[in-house]
Amino acid sequence: MMTIKIAIAGSSGRMGRMLIEAVLGAPDAQLAVALDRTGSDAIGLDATAYLGQTSGVLITDELSALKNADVLIDFTRPEGTLEHLQVCQQLGVKMIIGTTGFDETGRALIHTASQNIAIVSAYNMSIGVNLVFKLLEVAASVLQQGYDAEIVEMHHKHKVDAPSGTAIAMGEAIAKAWDKPLNDIATWSREGITGPRENGTIGFAALRGGDVIGDHTVVFAGEGERIEVTHKASNRTIYAQGSLRAARFLAQHQTGHYDMQEVLGLK
């Protein structure tokens, strides 16, 4: 069995720790590098000290340490991920990017980098959510005429972007089935006297509060019936397990830009 040497960005954060635990529990993966931001109190600590264990991997802010990894899993912030992307290109390290909130320039940089290294990037690494994307394509192709599409998402109060990347990806799945660019048919918010709802549009609503990990519901509302497709995340381990599946997929690719639909064989 081939062992994949994995680097984790944001190792002292909630998601970083979930990723570390997932790697430790995978027989075909090895924790090789643990990164954190410069100035973090975790720098110099063992990556698994919070578990009362010793891994021998110390948390560092030295990006040159990435030379010891096959793949970096990054769920941080756009500016940090793009800095990591530059170093990974130089060192030939593949990337799994779960970071959201990139602008067009950031997305273009990731796509360009995939000519040199293999990258999986996704709004959501959950296997279940990516199955929902496929279900939405099918549903939207059937429910195009006479149905209104609305997307409602809720996340914890610390999330900094809205709507969520997952909600946007759900909208893109519907828009693709309707053969329309999402930006042409999206209603991102409503306030005041908005007038009647325009046919063929996709509405978005973002809720924030508490410690909600991620709830998403797509509503297709027609005359006399309503179809709802819902995914609720109760634990961040779903993103970690999806990331490991992406790492195994990347072991078979040297370059290219992939998403979780390709990782799961849904394309």
Question: Following CA atoms 261, 264, 266, 267 in sequence, which dihedral angle do they give, to the nearest 10 degrees?
Answer: 60
Nearest of 265, 251, 261 to residue 94 by alpha carbon: 251
DSSP 8-class letter at 3: P
- Which helix H or strand E contains 71, and what residues bound it? strand 71-74
Q: b vs e for 223-247, b when ≥16 Cβ sit within 10 Å of the residue's Cβ?
A: eeeeeebebebeebebbbbbbbbbb
Of 5, 134, 159, 253, the active-site residue reads 159
- Using CA atoms, how far apart are residues 57 and 51, in angstroms rounded to an integer? 13
DSSP 8-class letter at 145: T
Of 84, 155, 216, 257, the active-site residue reads 155
* 94 catalytically annotated: no
Determine contact, residues 73/243, Cβ cutoff 8 Å.
yes
- Concatenating the DSSP letter of every residue in 189-212 gives ---S---SPPTT-EEEEEEE-TT-
* 159 catalytically annotated: yes
User: Within the chain, where are the H helices?
Assistant: 14-24, 78-91, 104-113, 127-142, 165-177, 182-185, 237-250, 260-263
Which residues carry out catalysis?
Answer: 155, 159
